[in-house]
A and B are shown apart, each in its own frame.
Chain A
Amino acid sequence: MHIIQKIGLGIFITALALFTLSLGMGKYQLSEAALAISKEYHKKEIIEKAKANGLLDKRYESNFAFIADLKKTLTDAQQSLEEKAKNGIPEGVYEWDYRMGNTKSYLFGIVKSASVGPIAQNPIRWFMLTFGLGILGGLLYIFPKFVPLPGIKNNGIYHNSLTRGLQVNIRQLFLGLTIVGTIVYGIFYMNHNLLWPAITTAMIGLITWLVFFKQRSKENNPQRSASPDVTGWLGVMTGVYLIGFYILLYWMPEYITSWVVMVNPLSLSLSGNGASQWFLYGTLYTIIVLVMGIRMMSKYRHNVYQVVRTCSVMFFQTAIAFLLPEILVRLNQPYYDFKNIWPLNYSFFFDYNLDTLTNSGGLGLFMLVWGLALMIIGVPLFTYFFGKRWYCSWVCGCGGLAETMGDPFRQLSDKSLRAWKYERYIIHGVLLFAVVMTLMVLYTYFTGNYQVLIFNSDSVRTWYGFLIGSAFAGVVGTGFYPLMGNRTWCRFGCPLAGYIGLVQKYKSRFRITTNGNQCISCGNCSTYCEMGIDVRAYAQKGQDIVRSSCVGCGICSAVCPRGVLRLENSSIDVDTRTDALRALHIKDGEWTLTQ
């Protein structure tokens, strides 16, 4: 390793350690002045109970103690409001609103506003010490990679503890724990409503049965799924860290206020509002896409397709997903990510979003029409001309992270036939769930009736957001990068990928062409396919490849040592060229390449 790389790595680890430790450095003191709650009746009650509990103006050295006391105070305030509600409520206030049903919604904001420690005093310094040093260290580590001759340099990926993956039984343990953990937590998340956790469990059982018995995949031992005998523990630790990060971000943001406080000045300068945990996430996400995008370019700098594509995902993440919505907010317009499409953007048809867009004048209506047009016209049209890649590996934010931060883990995708069978059931299952959930929500929006058959549309959408939006897309989607590859979400879960994939499969000019009979079955293409497509199985027979899951990242073509694969668009013969056996072979007694 280059000396500059060693220094870079050292700086990065220091930054990561400071970032992690900063969670425990917060000091908390709740003062009346700092408590930013717009509803006077709630604010008054909370302050009263905080005084009674001795919370107000008391300095806490640890967030655990503070959050525990604060939770008690909020519960007390809630109970008190319930009591008071019996004796009448103030003029012009809804009863459900007055009663402060969900204390969680205040928890994060109060903890953040009560932060008084060293980070709150000097957030910019801490931003530089963590984010800044992290970027510096990362770049120092990356820049020397531009020095050696350009070319595919995958040396040592399977010798590296971070990138070699893990044994199949340990992977199954992680998967099992994650599924069980999600369902169990889901029961609490749904306030002990067992309906949806039960339906989900039944679905998991059904899919497993279909794959194992109906598809006869039980005997197909999955030796291609994961490492046979070694586990890269550094990778496993990284996975655990990422999973932990997502759990805190989605469900316990009150514990990561130190991080949110660090990005507060940036948020104020962009939108004029204080930072939420989502702003923290967006900042972190964008920085990672940018820094790891530079790494991607250092690795594939001889490949113009990869360079252009990486620039594209960096641009869409930074400008369209991160900056533009913040600027819109500053201009008093709705927060809107112009490249996010239903059903990935599953809240597009939720009442609050529709209300916001229809009540925000011309721009709001434009956003509504734009979102609908992308979904109904844009997706089929662009997919017809360019394939799924126009979105998944050029524009999408999830794809952007997968193609930059996720690139070192692309080889960990499961190439077994069994995994493909799972994939087809799960991704189309999620797509169906998204459609059904959205139809229910729209039914409620137009009729005002929450009850759809035996289901409550509000609990359906809450469960979808929890299970698919948070657990699958976030915890598994990114947390499993070092465990199951960088496209776990895109491959198995993303309903938009499912939708675009169907268009790609049945009506698109896109294919990966196999170059005659030049394949040597080496397997680089399959190994580095992040979607787990066994590219070699097609290439060695001379077949062109049209698969609904292919996101057109072009890495199979880049790593092929014999120049066998090319991503192309043309309407001619797209179906016949995917026939089996197009390689040089005997046809009517003659050796021929073309049918």
Chain B
Amino acid sequence: MHIAIIGNGISGITAARFIRKLSDHKITVISAETDYFFSRTAIMYAYMGHMRKEDLKPYEDWFWKKNRIDLKRGFVAKIDSQNKNLIFKEGANMSYDKLIIACGSTPNKFGWPGQDLDRVQGMYSMQDLDGMEAASADGLKHAVIVGGGLIGIEMAEMFHSRHIPTTFLVREDLYWNAVLPEAESKMVSRHIVESGINLQLKTELKEIIDDGTGKACAAITNKGERIDCQFVGLTAGVHPNIGFIKESAPEIEVGRGILVDEKLETSVKDIYAIGDCAQLRNPKEGRRPIEAVWYTGKMMGETVAYTVCGKVKEYSPSIWFNSAKFVDIEYQVYGTVLAKAPENHASIYWEHPEGRKSIRIVYDKNTKEVLGFNLMGIRYRHEVCEKWLKEKTSVETVLQNLGIANFDPEFYKEYETEVIKIYNQQTGKNLQLKQKRSLTAALKFLRKAVGSRQ
């Protein structure tokens, strides 16, 4: 059987790797972007000079041949699903038995005048990285970034690392406050400013001005301000990259993304969609139909591999988790932490006086079960938090054992007692921390998990 995979991002590659683990099927991974898989999340480090482009590749080039995963550089112009055939823009054909579409996202554009000029782009692909390098080599004096999400702040950090003055336009009144609770949102907004990036809140892009040669030379905001710049970054989110599907295979049903069922299969038999481009028809409770993050792409890739190899599995992601880094502040989230907390959610929030570290634990006011962890500048153990959340552990049990979740490096100060102090103040209780940071204690706790499940 020949399994073709369109897209060599994390989803497509994870699928290919697991298909190889599970079977001897012929595998071809097709990409129009690069010859080899690279870590999209690390593009910024290549621009900042932390790493070379080669270092973005998680596997050495010989890995693919050794694992008999064929790589093809090309752009699929048409999917002939009746004859199970792919037709490439370059002219060639390729037949398949099963097809996995993992073609990712594309940056949002909201019809701004000038949005298609040169030096106006998002930051998603290797070509985008090349575009930023080209703009920088072309005498970039000032950059404007539009959109207050995770990619926007990365782009701002990238230019900042090269001492290129950057204006960061955010529509909301605080950075990323649709996702982060207000205190954390304020912390990051403060940190962006103290890092030397010009953050302009409650400001939207109105128009991008052409310098006469087809390149951007200024951005006009909704406040009427004109910001002279030689680069405009559009980072107001992404959407599934399904333009080519609509044209090439109209029989595949699409919504905002490619619609898939629990087995990640599209409306056409033997065609699957995973990762950023997939839209679940029936997402699990509390989950969104499109989750364009690295981790879900990885999980979908593994799930679909089982399914195409005949061991049908439903996509059923575990506890939600995510992470990011806001310039110098690391961020981790486990479980449900909402920006606007519903009535039954209560939270314990501790913030370091320096304002670059915080811990938030969300629990249900009525049942006392723990719902989520939100961490800024502090690291917690994924496995421990996941077990607490899965088992709907009481917040008081969690607090008393909070040390086993701590994953900060050795010698780092532990703040768990401060968190408990806040809970005690809020509730009038007198809880004490029973367990400090300890791998042994954490592993004993996790072992129990395995035991109890068996």
Q: Point out residues on A near B: beta carbons under 8 Å.
A: 149-152, 154-160, 219-221, 223-224, 227-228, 302-305, 308, 411, 416-417, 513, 515-518, 520-524, 526-527, 536-537, 540, 554, 557-559, 561-563, 566-573, 583-586, 589-595
- Which residue from chain B places its CB closest to the CB of A219 in the assembled complex? B62
* Residues on A with beta carbons closer than 8 Å to the beta carbon of B194: 149
Q: How far is the CB of A533 from chain B (nearest CB, A)?
A: 14
* Residues on B with beta carbons closer than 8 Å to the beta carbon of A154: 48-50
- Residue of B50, B439, B444 near A158 (CB, 8 A) is B50
Tell me whether B75 is interfacial, beta carbon within 8 Å. no
CB within 8 Å for A513 and B439 given contacts A155-B161, A537-B58: yes
CB within 8 Å for A561 and B325 given contacts A524-B45, A593-B383: yes
Tell me whether B306 is interfacial, beta carbon within 8 Å. yes
* Residues on B with beta carbons closer than 8 Å to the beta carbon of A302: 328
Count CB-based A-B contacts (< 8 Å).
179
CB within 8 Å for A518 and B55 given contacts A151-B328, A305-B409, A305-B412: no
Q: Are A589 and B313 in contact (CB under 8 A)?
A: yes
6 cross-chain pairs, A with B, having the tightest CB-CB distances, nearest first: A516-B382, A151-B328, A563-B379, A522-B42, A304-B411, A570-B439
* Residues on A with beta carbons closer than 8 Å to the beta carbon of B381: 515-516
Q: Are B450 and A595 in contact (CB under 8 A)?
A: yes
- Residue of A220, A308, A520, A573 near B41 (CB, 8 A) is A520
Q: Are A159 and B49 in contact (CB under 8 A)?
A: yes
User: Counting chain B CB atoms within 10 Å of each CB, which of A149, A219, A590 scores highest?
Assistant: A149
- Which residue from chain B places its CB closest to the CB of A539 in the assembled complex? B58
Q: Are B52 and A570 in contact (CB under 8 A)?
A: no
Q: Are B299 and A584 in contact (CB under 8 A)?
A: yes
Q: Are B10 and A521 in contact (CB under 8 A)?
A: yes
Tell me whether B327 is interfacial, beta carbon within 8 Å. yes
Q: How far is the CB of A543 from chain B (nearest CB, A)?
A: 13
The CA of A561 and the CA of B324, in the complex, are separated in Å by 7
Q: Are B379 and A593 in contact (CB under 8 A)?
A: no
Tell me whether B427 is interfacial, beta carbon within 8 Å. no
Q: Are A522 and B299 in contact (CB under 8 A)?
A: no
* Given A154-B49, A522-B51, A567-B410, 18 new contacts (CB under 8 A): A158-B52, A221-B60, A224-B54, A227-B52, A302-B328, A513-B407, A517-B321, A518-B332, A523-B39, A524-B45, A526-B55, A527-B51, A554-B409, A558-B409, A563-B332, A585-B302, A593-B386, A594-B450
Q: Are B323 and A562 in contact (CB under 8 A)?
A: yes
Tell me whether B108 is interfacial, beta carbon within 8 Å. no
* Residues on B with beta carbons closer than 8 Å to the beta carbon of A517: 295, 298, 321, 382
Could you jot down 28 A-B contacts, CB within 8 Å?
A149-B328, A154-B48, A156-B49, A156-B162, A158-B52, A221-B61, A221-B62, A411-B51, A515-B383, A518-B295, A523-B39, A524-B45, A527-B55, A537-B58, A540-B58, A566-B409, A570-B438, A570-B440, A583-B298, A584-B295, A584-B299, A585-B299, A585-B302, A591-B299, A591-B317, A594-B383, A594-B446, A594-B450
- Which residue from chain A places its CB closest to the CB of B379 in the assembled complex? A563
- Which residue from chain A places its CB closest to the CB of B65 in the assembled complex? A219
Q: Are B386 and A516 in contact (CB under 8 A)?
A: yes
Tell me whether B443 is interfacial, beta carbon within 8 Å. yes
* Residues on A with beta carbons closer than 8 Å to the beta carbon of B444: 572
Interface residues of B in 351-382 (CB under 8 A from A): 379, 381-382
* Residues on B with beta carbons closer than 8 Å to the beta carbon of A515: 379, 381-383, 407
- Which residue from chain A places its CB closest to the CB of B330 in the assembled complex? A563
* Residues on A with beta carbons closer than 8 Å to the beta carbon of B299: 584-585, 591
Q: Are B49 and A157 in contact (CB under 8 A)?
A: yes
CB within 8 Å for A158 and B443 given contacts A220-B60, A523-B56, A562-B325: no
Tell me whether B341 is interfacial, beta carbon within 8 Å. no
0 or 1 for each of B379-423: is its CB under 8 Å from A? (1 = yes):
101110011000000000000000000011111110000000000
The CA of A562 and the CA of B325, in the complex, are separated in Å by 7
The CA of A322 and the CA of B380, in the complex, are separated in Å by 41
User: Counting chain B CB atoms within 10 Å of each CB, which of A158, A558, A595 scores highest?
Assistant: A158
Tell me whether B432 is interfacial, beta carbon within 8 Å. no
* Residues on A with beta carbons closer than 8 Å to the beta carbon of B383: 515-516, 593-594
Interface residues of B in 144-171 (CB under 8 A from A): 161-162
The A interface, classified by DSSP as helix, strand, loop or mixed, is loop
Q: How far is the CB of A179 from chain B (nearest CB, A)?
A: 25
The CA of A523 and the CA of B62, in the complex, are separated in Å by 18
- Residue of B295, B328, B411 near A308 (CB, 8 A) is B411
* Residues on B with beta carbons closer than 8 Å to the beta carbon of A516: 321, 381-383, 386
Q: How far is the CB of A120 from chain B (nearest CB, A)?
A: 46
* Residues on A with beta carbons closer than 8 Å to the beta carbon of B318: 584, 591-593
Tell me whether B449 is interfacial, beta carbon within 8 Å. yes
- Residue of A157, A527, A562 near B330 (CB, 8 A) is A562
CB within 8 Å for A568 and B382 given contacts A155-B50, A305-B409, A523-B58: no
- Residue of A155, A567, A592 near B49 (CB, 8 A) is A155
* Residues on A with beta carbons closer than 8 Å to the beta carbon of B409: 303-305, 554, 557-558, 566-567
Q: How far is the CB of A226 from chain B (nearest CB, A)?
A: 10
Q: Are B42 and A518 in contact (CB under 8 A)?
A: no
Interface residues of B in 8-24 (CB under 8 A from A): 10
* Residues on A with beta carbons closer than 8 Å to the beta carbon of B447: 572-573
* Residues on A with beta carbons closer than 8 Å to the beta carbon of B313: 586, 589
Q: How far is the CB of B325 from chain A (nearest CB, A)?
A: 4
Q: How far is the CB of B330 from chain A (nearest CB, A)?
A: 5
The CA of A306 and the CA of B411, in the complex, are separated in Å by 10
The CA of A561 and the CA of B48, in the complex, are separated in Å by 14
Q: Are A224 and B328 in contact (CB under 8 A)?
A: no
Q: Are B302 and A521 in contact (CB under 8 A)?
A: no
* Residues on A with beta carbons closer than 8 Å to the beta carbon of B379: 515, 563, 566
Tell me whether B279 is interfacial, beta carbon within 8 Å. no
* Residues on B with beta carbons closer than 8 Å to the beta carbon of A156: 48-49, 161-162
CB within 8 Å for A417 and B440 given contacts A515-B407, A594-B450: no
Q: How far is the CB of B328 from chain A (nearest CB, A)?
A: 3
* Residues on B with beta carbons closer than 8 Å to the beta carbon of A224: 54-55, 60
* Residues on B with beta carbons closer than 8 Å to the beta carbon of A158: 49-52
Tell me whether B303 is interfacial, beta carbon within 8 Å. yes
- Which residue from chain A places its CB closest to the CB of B13 in the assembled complex? A521
CB within 8 Å for A563 and B49 given contacts A591-B318, A595-B450: no
The CA of A417 and the CA of B59, in the complex, are separated in Å by 10
User: Counting chain B CB atoms within 10 Å of each CB, which of A303, A584, A589 scores highest?
Assistant: A584
Q: Are A521 and B317 in contact (CB under 8 A)?
A: no
Q: How far is the CB of A251 from chain B (nearest CB, A)?
A: 36
Q: Are A568 and B439 in contact (CB under 8 A)?
A: yes
Q: Are B49 and A150 in contact (CB under 8 A)?
A: no
The CA of A417 and the CA of B52, in the complex, are separated in Å by 18
Q: Are B48 and A155 in contact (CB under 8 A)?
A: yes
Q: Are A522 and B439 in contact (CB under 8 A)?
A: no
Tell me whether B222 is interfacial, beta carbon within 8 Å. no
- Residue of A416, A558, A584 near B60 (CB, 8 A) is A416
The CA of A540 and the CA of B56, in the complex, are separated in Å by 13
- Residue of B39, B411, B443 near A520 (CB, 8 A) is B39
User: Counting chain B CB atoms within 10 Å of each CB, which of A224, A518, A526, A594 scores highest?
Assistant: A518
The CA of A245 and the CA of B392, in the complex, are separated in Å by 64
* Residues on B with beta carbons closer than 8 Å to the beta carbon of A223: 54, 60-61
Tell me whether B316 is interfacial, beta carbon within 8 Å. yes
